[in-house]
Structure 1
């Protein structure tokens, strides 16, 4: 805004019209006192001030305005029609005036001067705003620098309290700060600790990580300045970021020498034990093979004498002792004992051969069961047994060994039947989701659960931990024939197939044997031991 100060309204009016014609907002005052009041209330870019006025003249008004901080950027143009001498012009400039014009004034010149001074006022306002913004920015940066320095001091305090070697690195890779532990491995704060000759590639790796802005972790060996011995350390250097930019890097060397030495010793011990284990395993395999050969030879050599004992006993009984009931009784007992011994040798031979590897193949269990039942036709008919077999799945098995399992289970169900009731045996199967006796049924399961259930004499479940152990019998030899090996053979066969077998029973209420088998055999993972 432009302020025109003149005691004569007829002088103010033409100046107002000229300035308003050039889009300047204009205000006016008819005395020095009124002008000072308006200057205190409003901001003016230019004041056009008449020199000759009653009361306060223009020079006095200019001196007063110069004392106002609010008007320090306001330009004053003096106008005078009377005081045109040099001394008055000089006094006008010394009073704070920017220009001194004499009347009559050239309107164009006046407008140009006002435009120039108004533009200067606006520029000064913009400069003041810029200065304020710059000052505010300086204050913000100063506070940020102080906060950063405070955090840096805290960081250094923390680093000094660490048991590790700790240091900071600037963004251009210079070491900025190190704690006291640093000097155990370096002579000064700007030299990296001496590395083992085989670890010099660490420096290149760190440089790549620094350029990429990525965390760097590596095992290194540092040379102790006093002992000249190398110790293992874990070097970790991480970037410290603020608003996405990396301010610095913080690094630590953590002493892992004890763990590393222990790990190496443990690895050597593991390697040693592995070699010993391999040697023992080879020895065990050789011994096992020898035992299999021995079992086969022994059983074969024992069968022939037993067969002769049985034949000769039968011949003596039929040809020489028909009339001696007491002798016949003794011979019958001898024949039965020979038969039991023959069965025992046969079962022992079967048990010893379970360790021999055999190929797995997809097998239809329904066909296997039908073939198996042919072997029991005479017993089934004699005991009037009823056997129900539901649809069974195709399973990848060793057919001969799973046949042994079901042969033993069906044989036991027929053998341990109640005297007053015909045997009833049911065999059913379903797919399940996992290898678990009580797993829920699942049409897409990878395992099958087969249940063999009978209505026989049963047994007390407190003996469950005994029935699958070789030579363990729950019934006396006099009541039921058997060797106590059948269920042990069944369990070992199921174990070889990666399955499970379990039993549920109550005395005089029958038994239930549950088998879980994988539908497809998967090779076991090979564990490679490092030497």
Structure 2
């Protein structure tokens, strides 16, 4: 069975579908903790493990799995879309992984790797079953030497059927049996294949042999027919009877293609990283040029607009007092120029959202008290009632938070019902995770802010439109505005690593829901 571990279901589903199409039995877990519980209960041949997860990350999960005896033959493939540097890849291998892939994953390559590791797992299970059989065989050796011989013959048949190089050794270390694959790399059944001269000598094998311990090592073996060296995984397991080694069983598993793929992957990662750095530099330069262009264009557009407004007012006052039709046309032109000036100012504010600013501890109640002073005239004119609960202190960019609340309060006052005074309430509560419908939690790391009014509201089928720049749900003649305010609000919320949504019905008011972290991650 294959286990896919990823905290995002949308990542699990396509991988699961691909593997199931290749007749793999697939299980899934959406967190490291859930994966560990499943590993304790079930046997998995391969675990496809996401690196970047909340709670336990992939490396921690792999280290924990390594401590489970039932998962010692399980192969781990790491997946990552973020941690693609060589140090993370190295950490993946040292944490127990056999491969490290970056997203997006080529499904064909992934399936080939899983098939290879599944086959290796099955072979290892067969080998362990054979080891158990051998142990039982040794226990009755004194009583039935013939039974032992039959068991050895069975073992040799199993080893002969393996696609790997397989061999057995006597307790002294002398070769007793080799299968047919052995002769691709050695001309003699009594001599080991030739290692690459640059490989380390197996000094560790002498220690393992002396202590009767299992031995594993990557080696390069010279193929007789081609003279080339290929990577193999050497594994030698002791067979014991009453804690005494009576035989050694070993395999050489061809991992050359995996090593080449890993080396190629490292080269590609390095190449792509360099390309990304160059693209980032180019993008920063382009953004800077765009900001300068936006400021210049906005400044150059505002100057002639001011002249149009000034000259239109002068013409209306000096020359057209007795011509009401002309005054009406000029008033419309003046209002259009004022609306364009407002739109230019909003566009300039929108373009400045990409400028980096520092977060600082912010008292939202104090900030709102200052903002409400700007709306004194409108609040008095509309007899609005504004209630603000005790709000938490958050790490924010104060200027951006000021824009957020100014836009939301302005909209609540603007889109009020004609027959009822506006009522606006701003409340907050701590929640346990970054989600619009997250459960309240006194010690939660996120805050849910709600700005609620009793205005004209909107149809929720247009929810996706209200946060798009220049999108309006109401006609300009009835309600002023450029359609940029909520787009700026959404950009500012995203700048704070938060979420924004809304709930409403026509003529029943609206609730804007903001999700913000209490403290910004460093």
- CA spacing shift, 1:208–1:304, aligned 2, 3 Å: farther
Q: Distance in 2 between matches of 1:480 and 1:213?
A: 85
Which digits, 9 at most, give the CA deviation of each residue in 1:464-519, with x for residues without a partner? 11111111111121221111111111111111111111111101111101011110
| Cross-structure match for 1:142 | 142
Q: Distance in 2 between matches of 1:381 and 1:430?
A: 29
* Greater mean deviation of Cα atoms: 310-319 or 409-418: 310-319
TM-score, normalised via structure 1 length: 0.70
- CA spacing shift, 1:165–1:305, aligned 2, 3 Å: same
CA contact (8 A) 2:400 2:492 kept: yes
Q: Does 1:192 align with 2:192?
A: yes
Where do residues 219-368 of structure 1 align in structure 2 (5 Å cutoff)? 219-368=218-367
| Cross-structure match for 1:118 | none
- CA spacing shift, 1:215–1:302, aligned 2, 3 Å: farther
Query: RMSD in angstroms over aligned alpha carbons?
Result: 1.7
- CA spacing shift, 1:296–1:226, aligned 2, 3 Å: same
How far 1:146 moved relative to its partner? 3.4
| Cross-structure match for 2:504 | 505
Where do residues 295-444 of structure 1 align in structure 2 (5 Å cutoff)? 295-444=294-443
Q: Secondary structure at the match of 2:251?
A: strand
* Greater mean deviation of Cα atoms: 231-240 or 335-344: 231-240
Q: Distance in 1 between matches of 2:472 and 2:176?
A: 81
How far 1:241 moved relative to its partner? 3.4
- CA spacing shift, 1:217–1:466, aligned 2, 3 Å: farther
Q: Distance in 2 between matches of 1:140 and 1:469?
A: 79
How far 1:227 moved relative to its partner? 0.4
How far 1:320 moved relative to its partner? 1.9
Q: Distance in 2 between matches of 1:500 and 1:171?
A: 66
Q: Secondary structure at the match of 1:249?
A: strand
- CA spacing shift, 1:491–1:240, aligned 2, 3 Å: farther
| Cross-structure match for 1:157 | 157
* Greater mean deviation of Cα atoms: 311-320 or 244-253: 244-253
- CA spacing shift, 1:291–1:161, aligned 2, 3 Å: same
Q: Does 1:175 align with 2:175?
A: yes
* Greater mean deviation of Cα atoms: 402-411 or 186-195: 186-195
How far 1:210 moved relative to its partner? 2.8
Which digits, 9 at most, give the CA deviation of each residue in 1:368-397, with x for residues without a partner? 111111111111111111110000000011
Q: Secondary structure at the match of 2:252?
A: strand
- CA spacing shift, 1:310–1:211, aligned 2, 3 Å: farther
- CA spacing shift, 1:140–1:453, aligned 2, 3 Å: closer
Q: Secondary structure at the match of 2:198?
A: helix
How far 1:314 moved relative to its partner? 1.6
How far 1:346 moved relative to its partner? 1.0
How far 1:197 moved relative to its partner? 2.0
| Cross-structure match for 2:491 | 492
- CA spacing shift, 1:423–1:243, aligned 2, 3 Å: farther
For structure 2, the residue ranges without an aligned partner over 5 or more in a row are 1-138
Q: Secondary structure at the match of 1:288?
A: helix
How far 1:257 moved relative to its partner? 1.9
CA contact (8 A) 2:196 2:222 kept: yes
* Greater mean deviation of Cα atoms: 479-488 or 241-250: 241-250
| Cross-structure match for 2:204 | 205
How far 1:283 moved relative to its partner? 1.3
CA contact (8 A) 2:501 2:514 kept: yes
Q: Secondary structure at the match of 1:323?
A: coil
For structure 1, the residue ranges without an aligned partner over 5 or more in a row are 1-138, 524-531
TM-score, normalised via structure 2 length: 0.71
Q: Does 1:448 align with 2:447?
A: yes
Which digits, 9 at most, give the CA deviation of each residue in 1:18-71, with x for residues without a partner? xxxxxxxxxxxxxxxxxxxxxxxxxxxxxxxxxxxxxxxxxxxxxxxxxxxxxx
Q: Distance in 2 between matches of 1:246 and 1:436?
A: 59
Q: Distance in 2 between matches of 1:232 and 1:425?
A: 71
How far 1:344 moved relative to its partner? 1.0
* Greater mean deviation of Cα atoms: 496-505 or 468-477: 468-477
- CA spacing shift, 1:225–1:374, aligned 2, 3 Å: same
Where do residues 125-136 of structure 1 align in structure 2 (5 Å cutoff)? none
How far 1:406 moved relative to its partner? 1.0
CA contact (8 A) 2:141 2:148 kept: no
Q: Distance in 2 between matches of 1:140 and 1:249?
A: 18
Q: Distance in 2 between matches of 1:266 and 1:348?
A: 44
Q: Secondary structure at the match of 2:471?
A: coil
Computing the radius of gyration over CA atoms, which structure comes out larger, 1 or 2?
1
Q: Distance in 2 between matches of 1:518 and 1:384?
A: 34
How far 1:340 moved relative to its partner? 1.1
Which digits, 9 at most, give the CA deviation of each residue in 1:322-345, with x for residues without a partner? 221111111111111111111111
Q: Secondary structure at the match of 1:197?
A: coil
Q: Distance in 2 between matches of 1:185 and 1:325?
A: 104
| Cross-structure match for 1:36 | none
- CA spacing shift, 1:223–1:308, aligned 2, 3 Å: same
Where do residues 82-161 of structure 1 align in structure 2 (5 Å cutoff)? 141-161=141-161
Which digits, 9 at most, give the CA deviation of each residue in 1:149-190, with x for residues without a partner? 332221111110000011123333333321111111112122
- CA spacing shift, 1:449–1:279, aligned 2, 3 Å: same
| Cross-structure match for 1:517 | 516
How far 1:141 moved relative to its partner? 4.5
How far 1:205 moved relative to its partner? 2.6
Q: Distance in 1 between matches of 2:282 and 2:249?
A: 56
Q: Distance in 2 between matches of 1:142 and 1:456?
A: 93
Q: Distance in 1 between matches of 2:243 and 2:148?
A: 16
- CA spacing shift, 1:225–1:450, aligned 2, 3 Å: same
Q: Distance in 1 between matches of 2:267 and 2:392?
A: 49
CA contact (8 A) 2:141 2:147 kept: no
Q: Distance in 1 between matches of 2:407 and 2:335?
A: 21
